[in-house]
Structure 1
Amino acid sequence: MKVVDPHVHLWDLEVVPLPWLMPAGEAYSGDNRKLPRRYTDRELLAGAGDIEVLKIVNVEANPSDALAETRWLQSLAARDGYPQGIVAMLDLSRDDAATQLAALAETPNLRGIRQILNVHADPRYDYVGRHYLNEPQWRANLRLLARYGLSFDLQIYPSQATLAADVAAGHPDTLFILDHAGMCVDRDRAGQREWREGLRRLAACENVVAKISGLAMFDHHWTSASLRPYVLETIEAFGASRCLFASNFPIDGLHSSYGALWHAYAEIVAGASASEHAALFVGNAERCYRI
């Protein structure tokens, strides 16, 4: 089974500290104390089982130093060829965001930027406690990405989808890649409805695609049956040509082996055509991240 994995987190805590893992603790996504202190492409490939990982995209892991993380990742690429794509962290609310972006853009494998935007009333799920999407300076700096041909990984909750769709519509020259199928965090009937409606608002923007990943963060004892509604609803909203399967390893590795996750995806979309399967598992990731 051949895949391009467009959402992995490689790190070495001895090289680039990750404050949220030092010290590690319990989180909604699992027990971070069980995560490795070093996880590079070599560890990922060694644990891939029967999955042939053609290419990977590393998405920033909320490091203490974004430039140091990006340069370290590029050194891995120089050594092993992986990661083929890098999505770096950048706080677009900063006055010096343009200078920071110019420095990051010197990295050959840089393909995009992510700034985590999740806001939630429950402190357990709240990441930033601040509505960056509403801030004029943040929006103005977002326009800088088009100058470098970079995408933006959009990590939000369903309650933020309407505002995010407005931002995407206002930045038509930037590709927005929705992380983790829109992160359906509230799973009662109202939360499910809000998530479905949010997906469709975002899908109405032609410059938004959806990454199907991170589902185990909210479903620690998942099965193919429990993942199926989230996978199929996302594909129904965006279409097979605008969805990308991804692993979110090693985070989702707290609740799954690498191979089991990919085989679950394949089981869920077993009815897809050969061209749709190739797009979901390989081609869309290559196109969206230009790798």
Structure 2
Amino acid sequence: MKVVDPHIHLWDLETHHYPWLANPGVSFVGDARVLKHDYLIADLLKDAGDIELLKCVHVEANHDPKDPVEETRWLQSVADAAGSRSMPNGIVAAVDLAADNAAEVLEAHAAFANTRGVRQILNVHHDKLYDYVGRHFMREAAWRENVRLLRRHGMSFDMQLYPSQMEDAAELANAHRDTQFIVNHTGMFVDRNSVAGYRAWREGMKTLAQCPNVAVKISGLAMFDHKWTTESLRPYVLETIDTFGVDRAMFASNFPVDRQFGSYGDLWRAYASIVGDASDAEKDALFARNAERLYRI
């Protein structure tokens, strides 16, 4: 099986600082203590095994927020190194669009050849277990104003958010139709144990899908389903593809985070089984071509 993986993370704990790995804990996404080790391209390729990984996109890994550009500088050096196969082929860098230096940070990221976009985690939840940032960035005027800077550099924006935030996200996407937005982790369906929670996810995804400049990564499902099976993933995968259409959905691994809950090969084979009766063109789009097009790699 040949894949382009648009959501992976790398880290080198010997040379870089990642606060969440310096003092790892246990949360709903698993036990970060088992992730406290270097994870490099060689490790990713080893995990891939018999899955032929053609290209990949690195999404910021919560590197030291005092120097987000250093992560991009390091990743570009990894991609440029002999034997790296130019991986990561695309870089989604970190930025705080609410910060006074947001413009300068974006400018610095843009100087690197493989930079394709940025991510700022937006997840807000009333339950502290699930709350990441504690503030509604998308409702802040200064933050929203800085989103316009992405167009200057031709950057996309990776959206990591919850269903309760999807209406705000759709408003943002409609206000910046010249910017590509990419929803992370299948919309992070966190409140899945209630009818209201399922409805919020389903309707929120439909609202986002009405924006032609919004796409979605089918990934991160294991964060909420630690004992996942192909059948437990099936309804979320099919609902997402049906909502966004084959041309705006793409499979991704979220490795090594989701490595806690299953192997790389098992995850991709589960995806393949779920869309087994799709056409060859549809499979090609979901497993490779959409990621190449949306991240320009």
Same fold (TM over 0.5): yes
- Tell me which residue corresponds to 1:76: 78
Q: How does 1:255-274 map to 2 (within 5 A)?
A: 255-274=261-280
Contact 2:21 2:36 in 1 (8 A): no
Cα distance, 1:51–1:36 mapped onto 2, change above 3 Å: farther
Contact 2:24 2:36 in 1 (8 A): no
Q: How far 1:272 moved relative to its partner?
A: 0.7
Q: How far 1:17 moved relative to its partner?
A: 1.0
Q: How far 1:175 moved relative to its partner?
A: 0.2
- Structural RMSD (CA): 0.7
- Tell me which residue corresponds to 1:216: 222
Task: Summarize deviations over 1:10-59 as a string: whole Å, max 9, x none.
Answer: 11122221111111111111111111421011100011111000000000
1:154 to 159, 162, 185: 159
Normalising by the residue count of structure 2, what TM-score does the alignment of the two structures yield?
A: 0.97
Equivalent position amino acid for 2:165 in 1 = Q
Normalising by the residue count of structure 1, what TM-score does the alignment of the two structures yield?
A: 0.99
- Tell me which residue corresponds to 2:197: 191
- Structure 1: gaps spanning 5 or more residues: none
1:145 to 114, 126, 150: 150
Report the Cα distance in structure 1 between the residues aligned to 2:119 and 2:228, rounded to whole angstroms. Answer: 27
Q: How far 1:151 moved relative to its partner?
A: 0.3
Q: How does 1:1-291 map to 2 (within 5 A)?
A: 1-64=1-64, 65-79=67-81, 80=84, 81-187=86-192, 188-291=194-297
Contact 2:10 2:40 in 1 (8 A): yes
Residue aligned with 2:98, SS: coil
Q: How far 1:140 moved relative to its partner?
A: 0.8
Report the Cα distance in structure 2 between the residues aligned to 1:144 and 1:282, rounded to whole angstroms. Answer: 28
User: Which structure 1 residue ranges, 4+ long, deviate > 6 Å from structure 2?
Assistant: none
Residue aligned with 1:62, SS: coil
Report the Cα distance in structure 2 between the residues aligned to 1:96 and 1:11, rounded to whole angstroms. Answer: 25
Residue-pair matches, total: 291
Equivalent position amino acid for 2:60 in 1 = E
Give the fraction of aligned pairs with identical amino acids, expressed as a percent: 60
